[in-house]
Amino acid sequence: MPVFEKRSQIAAPVKALFNWHNRSRTFERLSPSWQKVRVLEKKGGLEDGARMVMELQQGPFRRKWVAIHSAYIEGKQFCDEQVQGPFAKWVHTHKFLPESDTTSLIDDHIEYATPLGFLGNLVAGGYIRGLLERLFTFRHTRTQNDLMRYQAFARNGSLKIVLTGASGMVGSQLRAFLSCAGHEVISLVRHAPHPGSSEIFWDPIRGELDKTSLESVDAVIHLAGENIGAGRWTAARKAQILDSRVAGTAFLAETLAKLKHPPKVFIVSSAIGFYGDRGEEILTEESPAGKGFLSDVCQAWEKAAEPAKKAGIRVVNVRTGIVLSAAGGALPKMVTPILLGVGGTIGSGKQWMSWVSMEDLVGLYHYLIHAGDISGPVNATAPGSVTNKSFIKTLGKVLGWPTLFPLPGFMVKLLLGEMGEALLLEGQQVKPAKLEKAGFKFLYPDLESALRWELGK
């Protein structure tokens, strides 16, 4: 029977390592964005008898995986065994071994069997081992990265954090990251809260929110807003984009300002669209606003948080660049044409693209919660801005595919209108001056390493 084993040293005490795995949302952190896995049902934690039902997607095919936990020893190990799924047998033992007061070992031992026995192993054995190596390299790296970032602020203890936009691409990862750090994360949602969940209903347009639920929280992170790239910018669509950001931010800011015990920090998402199309100009947080629809939206968005600032709450406006994630956003839209053999430079290729990996974006939100001396605008971009031509060339290199077919600018305007022009043909060369001065550590500061991490390459 084939056996796969991977052992890695983690720069954290074994207790911290085990506790991280025992958090309710750890599986979300251990699931790479390039692997399509969805949790359908979860009962219990790591203890014997706990059960998880997942849906795996490989291309157009979907498969259910049901696993039961056993062999649980507090602080030392647990096991999950497939009772339904793609393998004839799958027994995965997780062991956590102390090495010193500050380091430990994580050991993943898997015994598995393919459905067709020897023939299945002959046909798919190499692919399966390669996939397992890729997956567990990701898992061990993610474990180390998260624990490293948690330990930097462990002295601050567990916090109570309110989050909007928790179901979005960034919000879902940030919620999992903060929960796995041991913080209590409360999600503001627009639907009826699920029974037993840490959700609170709010409707910013109608001004509906149980204000007492925000008393004495430590931080509020506001990510909610209409997707700017979901369709052509009609007059109605532009109004939705603007209202979804300004109304929600203003309502939250005014609510927080009236609390008896307000949060210490109010972190509001914004975007580098604030700077407009600026050509070769190097932009920092000190640079003035630009022109255009996105700049107008970002200016109004940031201004809407003023009531909280006037009430003495530390307000941070996170001006986010292009977020690199295989789970959604811009990256999959660029990957697909390249893999189909029709991808290439967009427009002139000279427009600057300021980006940030999802790994670093989640980390910097966590950093800004604790960095009490940072307020106002913060550029959430990696130090390595590149031109569109360089970005596409690097992406093609990572994917191992040519990028020979450019998309002319006039076609972008014809197909996507103002939205395409603003998002694809205009650009900004943005530097994260405040974060660099504060000493924030980017795990993926250059484009190739960020793409390889996010795409599992």
- How confident is the model at residue 121, as a pLDDT? 65
> Mind listing the pLDDT tens digit for each residue in 334-368?
898 888 888 888 888 999 999 999 999 999 999 99
Non-local CB neighbours of 51 within 8 Å, separated by 6+ positions: 41, 42, 43, 44, 66, 67, 68, 69
Q: What is the pTM of this model?
A: 0.92
- How confident is the model at residue 123, as a pLDDT? 59
Provide the residue type at 114 as one letter. Answer: T
- How confident is the model at residue 122, as a pLDDT? 63
Q: Which fold has domain 158-455?
A: Rossmann fold (3.40.50)
DSSP E strands in 321-418: the ranges are: 322-324, 352-353, 355-357, 376-380, 386-387
Residue ranges for the chain with pLDDT beneath 50: none
- How confident is the model at residue 73, as a pLDDT? 95
CATH number for the 3-152 domain, one of 3.30.70.20, 3.30.530.20, 3.30.420.10, 3.40.50.80? 3.30.530.20
Domain boundaries, the chain: 3-152, 158-455
- Write down how long the chain is: 457
| Secondary structure of 242-302 in HEC code, one letter for each residue | HHHHHHHHHHHHHHHHCCCCCCCEEEEEEEHHHHCCCCCCEECCCCCCCCCHHHHHHHHHH
- How confident is the model at residue 60, as a pLDDT? 76
- How confident is the model at residue 118, as a pLDDT? 65
What burial class does residue 131 get, using C-beta atoms within 10 Å of its C-beta: 0-12 exposed, 13-18 middle, 19+ buried?
middle
- How confident is the model at residue 277, as a pLDDT? 92
Query: Two tokens at 19?
Result: 């506790």
- How confident is the model at residue 258, as a pLDDT? 94
- How confident is the model at residue 194, as a pLDDT? 80
